[in-house]
Amino acid sequence: MRQRLIRSLGRKNQLAASSELDRLEQSLNRHCERSLILSEIDAGALTATRIGGPLLFGRLWERLGVSEVMAEPFEGSWLRVRS
């Protein structure tokens, strides 16, 4: 593999003094961690489950018994609460 220069970042002593090099390093580390995790998910080495608001609040609704509490005031009404 052959290396090539894409862009010069400037003089090392100036970058170190302004802490730009540290910020660049932190940014690259964050990108590399995300990239590694996503590639492992794509390869099947990791599994991911997404839970969204509807799933989360639906389970809370069930566990707290909100449907039973809400059904009582609406008995006989055209409005029905799903359980």
Q: What is the pLDDT of residue 31?
A: 80
Digit-coded pLDDT (tens) for 10-32: 887 887 788 877 888 888 888 87
Average pLDDT on 1-18 reads: 82
- Report if residue 19 sits inside a domain: yes
Residues 57 and 78 in one domain: yes
Q: Global pTM?
A: 0.36
Does residue 17 belong to any structural domain of this protein?
A: yes
Could you tell me if residue 5 is inside a domain?
A: no
Same-domain check for residues 40 and 62: no
pLDDT, one tens digit per residue, over 28-77 is: 888 877 788 878 878 888 776 767 877 888 888 888 888 787 777 666 66
Residues 6 and 68: their CA atoms lie apart, in Å, by 64
Query: Would you state the pLDDT for residue 50?
Result: 65
- For tokens 């069930």, what's the residue? 62
- What's the CA gap between 36 and 39, in Å, rounded? 5
Question: Does one domain contain both 29 and 16?
Answer: yes
Do 14 and 44 have their domain in common?
yes
Q: Print the domain residue range for 42.
A: 10-48
Distance CA 67, CA 57 (A): 12
